[in-house]
Structure 1
Amino acid sequence: MAGHASTLDPVALPHGAAARLAIGADRLLGGALEAVAAALVLAEILILGAGVTARYVFHAPIIWTDELASILFLWLSMLGAVVALRRGEHMRMTGLVTRVGPRPRALLEALALTASLAFVLLVLHHALEYAQEEAFIVTLALEISNAWRASALPVGLALMVPVGLVRLLRLGQPVAVALAAVLTAALVLAFWWAGPVLRPLGQVNLLVFFVGVVAVNVFAGVPIAFSFALATFGYLACTTSTPLLVVVGRLDEGMSHLILLAVPLFVFLGALIEMTGMARAMIGFLASLLGHVRGGLSYVLIGAMYLVSGISGSKIADMAAIAPVLFPEMKARGAKPGDLVALLSATGAQTETIPPSIVLITIGSVTGVSIAALFTGGMVPALVLGLCLCFVVWRRYRHEDLSHITRPSWAQVARLAVVALPAIALPFIIRAAVVEGVATATEVSTIGIGYAVLMGLLVYRQFDWRRIGPMLADTASLTGAIIFIVGCATAMAWGLTQSGFSQDLARLMAAIPGGAYGFLAVSIVAFIVLGSVLEGIPAIVLFGPLLFPLARDAGVHEVHYAMVVIFAMGIGLFAPPFGVGYYGACATSKVNPDEGLRYIWGYVAALLVGLVLVAAIPWFSIGFL
């Protein structure tokens, strides 16, 4: 999955004693938040690792590990969301924001924050009420009040208020901030007063809130999670008599799937792979095999993304591990920077189904499809799309001049293979641990982390202890951004379901001609569009629970449907002009996005051909189940 960090950096730091005091307090609060969030990531690794060790090595399961991990996970997600807000790392669409002049941009940046704060202030009272309600529930294993877990919601939301206010102060644009605050308050009051007019409209309100409000917020640059949350809160508050406590309950439900705990652990594992030099070792070996072939390093790029994606789970981490290693040599051989970034972006879409993909884990958590089956089913479809990309590479580089390239000896290749072997083994160890039942899809990342630490310390001798703290804090921030989206999208999906939309959608999809293939064709078009606007995880959380049962009814295997949907979203996510994954690839590669536009369409066409093959031939997805 590729996140697109927003840019709410200050234009000019404000002056004055009050401003300096606020910014100083923010540094103290931010440092404390990051330290606690980083400690929670480390605690989750140790707790789940201890659970696997006790059960598999000592045959003495610890019954309370999952429960404690679940309690801490909600705290990690909420504090991570606060850290992400402070850093400006909540996922959002910035296409419009970056294309307007300085004054409109300052207003949009301020609106992104005031709209987010509006939701926090509207829901904070209900979050407190929800935590009080949960106090009467006692957990099964630890036998403590569930308020210890539920309190993470009001505490996290309350911390967002000072963090958001300081970010507004840091913008250094008092007029834009004041205008944004007035505009946000006016819109909230307008919707509140319009309640009596909106209620009789029935399902037209779905268009008003879940299309209109979401679209306006997303295109204005409001973080996607808060766009979903505002639409859901507004729909329930203005058009129904549903208690608003439900919003917090659905937020909690979405953020509390234990399988989602795999997200921070695999993100941290990806950072470890890069830090210990394991990714570099794999790429070095692949380059020695194919570097003397026409377009060889492009094949290496495709193969390296295939291997590294199997370890990381974060597309930005994958790209950051590969681009700095391969691009200098590829440019020295005459490759155009635009072609390189286009291929890197295309491989981001190609490798979305390679386990342990965060999108696969999310699909399993919200639809109930077996994670082990998804992990098994994702390998061959990614290979099919990779071969389609290889065909484009062959066409483009079949006349490349390699007269100045020296082919490495077999002894050199063998030496690099030995060095790379421990790194190449990691994806297979992870998959074997899940398939053989050594660990669950959530726990298996701790085996990978332990293995990576040992390889970094003992084999590659690259382990910078000073980087562990910042890596844990970065993991917490990305986790908070992702899981908060999942929570808000879960609440929004619940609102859609309660409105009767799911039944209407079921009737519409059932009426599509062509049976299973007609259903797949419509799904491909829909998810390419959704992937370009919402990114993969919000789209799948929102529509997965609605569409997967329809796919079953249409005769499409769940794992096959998951692969088709993921690739469709991936193409939308990594294809310009809207796909934010493309801009993430450009940022990682330090290449201007305009340079890649003339090259990327050939790769997108190859991905579409591969997607049609995967959709038409279910065996690619389910042949090894």
Structure 2
Amino acid sequence: MHAIFFGSLVALLLVGVPVFVVLLLPVMVALETTTSTPPVLIIQRLFSGIDKFPLMAIPFFIFAGNIMAQGGISKRLIRLANALVRPLLGGLGITTVTSSMFFSAISGSSPATVIAVGKIMLPAMEKEGYKRWFSIGLLMSSGSMGIIIPPSIFMIVYGAVTGVSIGALFLAGVGAGLVYGVAFIGVCVLYARATGMAREARWDTTEILTAARGCFWGLATPFIILGGIYGGIFTPTEAAAVAVIYAVLVSALIYREMTLSDILDSAVDSAITTAQVMIIIAAASAFAWYLTTSGVASGLTGLLAGIGNNPIYVLLTINCLILLAGMVLDPNSIIIILVPFIVPVAVAAGIDPIHLGIVLAVNAAIGMFTPPFGLNLFVSGALGVSFNEAIKGALPFILVGLIALFLITYVPITSLWLPAQFYPNISTTF
């Protein structure tokens, strides 16, 4: 019966059925044909899956990110990144990576980062002589930092499921995001050296100061969010609401690039995106409930527990499992379905739940540009890039992501040093 159940999942994925239907339909059929469980329980599980206070932050962060992308903040951030790193070897590629880091720290969304940065940087890189496949791959991969760098929707969901501090996860994401970003910066330098690209002009202090002044209000966003959380002024959920108000004020009153009509359009887009995220979380919650009640979960937990308590082997197994899951599932589904079974095994092996969350976030980031169902590959259509072009460009960068994953996984101090300064119970070693 379990073979038929999982076979139907694979079949539905292969024919392109929406993910929430893939998760729900087999559960409904299995309950109807093999149990006497009333179908109304599925509805109850759908609602209970999203009835969590921390999840209220998701629509606010999505709304804030959309406003900032459309309100002129993204182009100002790119201008600053360009002024800071353009004179370096591979400067335009490095600008793409640093712009993605900046925008990830504002939007918390990987697809939004790809689109906002890609609309400006893809034509610029091609004009500069970068190969199209390299430009596309760099955008798909560096844009995935929206999952790692705070404020990350992935970390909000992980914190809601596991009960660990979202604030600690955000701090850990800073170090992990830097390691991840530096890995792709290194690729840009190697590419420029291999192709014989010349360095750009020298740094222009006036240009840097002008660009910094222009995006000051946008760069202040992550400091307001994180500063408010760690200063005890507001919770992560309240911080998300503050981010929306701040984004509206900056875009409409300071930069004056959004009208009331634009804000309403952004609200509609945000509502649609929020619905897409929430229905997947709800469906994944019902799916996870079925795995638990049907006995599949106990088998999975037993399989993971069978690898022993050596943290090196446990993390290796978890990485392999999540990387495979990331090829077919979205990040939020991975958390809801697999994390409840992974966390007990990881904690028993002496792995800090914060470190585990960061490792899962990096895995999920790689999954965002891994075929066949990486979401960044699909949103590339908004940049005039075909799906096949996106896959061709993304494949070489998967290796770069894996190198960063290895460092973050087995050198935990890279991500845990910063949160350990605020949360003394966090250990920076296994």
TM over 0.5: yes
Amino acid at match of 1:384: V
- Stretch moving more, 518-527 or 307-316: 307-316
Amino acid at match of 1:611: L
Could you tell me how far apart the structure 2 residues matched to 1:572 and 1:516 are?
A: 23
- The within-5 A match list for 1:440-589 is 440-513=235-308, 515-576=310-371, 578-589=372-383
Could you tell me how far apart the structure 1 residues matched to 2:145 and 2:271 are?
A: 26
C-alpha offsets along residues 73-132 of structure 1, whole Å, 9 cap, x if unaligned?
xxxxxxxxxxxxxxxxxxxxxxxxxxxxxxxxxxxxxxxxxxxxxxxxxxxxxxxxxxxx
1:515 Cα deviation after fit: 1.2
SS in 1 for 2:151: coil
- Measured at CA, do residues 418 and 225 of structure 1 come closer, stay the same or move farther in structure 2, by a change above 3 Å? same
1:513 Cα deviation after fit: 4.7
- Measured at CA, do residues 535 and 295 of structure 1 come closer, stay the same or move farther in structure 2, by a change above 3 Å? same
- Measured at CA, do residues 453 and 406 of structure 1 come closer, stay the same or move farther in structure 2, by a change above 3 Å? same
Aligned to 2:409: 615
Aligned to 1:369: 164
User: Does the CA-based 8 Å contact 2:109-2:147 persist in structure 1?
Assistant: no
- Measured at CA, do residues 249 and 284 of structure 1 come closer, stay the same or move farther in structure 2, by a change above 3 Å? same
Could you tell me how far apart the structure 1 residues matched to 2:234 and 2:16 are?
A: 40
- Measured at CA, do residues 372 and 224 of structure 1 come closer, stay the same or move farther in structure 2, by a change above 3 Å? same
C-alpha offsets along residues 363-390 of structure 1, whole Å, 9 cap, x if unaligned?
1112212111111111111111111111
- Measured at CA, do residues 459 and 468 of structure 1 come closer, stay the same or move farther in structure 2, by a change above 3 Å? closer
User: Does the CA-based 8 Å contact 2:20-2:284 persist in structure 1?
Assistant: yes
Could you tell me how far apart the structure 2 residues matched to 1:590 and 1:289 are?
A: 28
1:503 Cα deviation after fit: 2.5
SS in 1 for 2:17: coil
Aligned to 1:241: 36
Amino acid at match of 2:339: G
Could you tell me how far apart the structure 1 residues matched to 2:196 and 2:253 are?
A: 40
Greater Rg by CA = 1
1:598 Cα deviation after fit: 5.0
Q: CA RMSD in A?
A: 1.8
Could you tell me how far apart the structure 2 residues matched to 1:457 and 1:356 are?
A: 22
Aligned to 2:105: 310
Matched, 1:296 2:103: no
C-alpha offsets along residues 480-505 of structure 1, whole Å, 9 cap, x if unaligned?
11111111111111111112233222
Could you tell me how far apart the structure 1 residues matched to 2:233 and 2:3 are?
A: 47
Could you tell me how far apart the structure 1 residues matched to 2:296 and 2:406 are?
A: 29
- Measured at CA, do residues 592 and 442 of structure 1 come closer, stay the same or move farther in structure 2, by a change above 3 Å? same
User: Does the CA-based 8 Å contact 2:172-2:418 persist in structure 1?
Assistant: yes
1:325 Cα deviation after fit: 2.0
- Stretch moving more, 385-394 or 326-335: 326-335
C-alpha offsets along residues 133-180 of structure 1, whole Å, 9 cap, x if unaligned?
xxxxxxxxxxxxxxxxxxxxxxxxxxxxxxxxxxxxxxxxxxxxxxxx
Could you tell me how far apart the structure 2 residues matched to 1:212 and 1:359 are?
A: 28
User: Does the CA-based 8 Å contact 1:292-1:402 persist in structure 2?
Assistant: no
SS in 1 for 2:107: coil
- Measured at CA, do residues 217 and 498 of structure 1 come closer, stay the same or move farther in structure 2, by a change above 3 Å? same
Aligned to 2:15: 220
| TM-score calculated relative to the size of structure 1 | 0.64
Could you tell me how far apart the structure 1 residues matched to 2:163 and 2:154 are?
A: 13
Matched, 1:208 2:41: no
What is the number of equivalent residue pairs in this alignment? 418
The runs of 5 or more residues in structure 2 that have no matched partner are 420-430
- The within-5 A match list for 1:352-363 is 352-363=147-158
The runs of 5 or more residues in structure 1 that have no matched partner are 1-204
Matched, 1:258 2:50: no
Aligned to 2:424: none
1 or 2 for the larger relative contact order (CA 8 Å, sep ≥6)?
2
| TM-score calculated relative to the size of structure 2 | 0.92
Could you tell me how far apart the structure 1 residues matched to 2:74 and 2:27 are?
A: 42
Could you tell me how far apart the structure 1 residues matched to 2:40 and 2:391 are?
A: 47
Q: Percent identity at matched positions?
A: 29
C-alpha offsets along residues 425-464 of structure 1, whole Å, 9 cap, x if unaligned?
1111111111122221111112111212222233322122
- The within-5 A match list for 1:154-169 is none
Aligned to 1:391: 186
- The within-5 A match list for 1:79-478 is 205-209=1-5, 211-398=6-193, 399-402=195-198, 405-407=200-202, 409-478=204-273
Amino acid at match of 1:327: L
- Stretch moving more, 582-591 or 227-236: 582-591
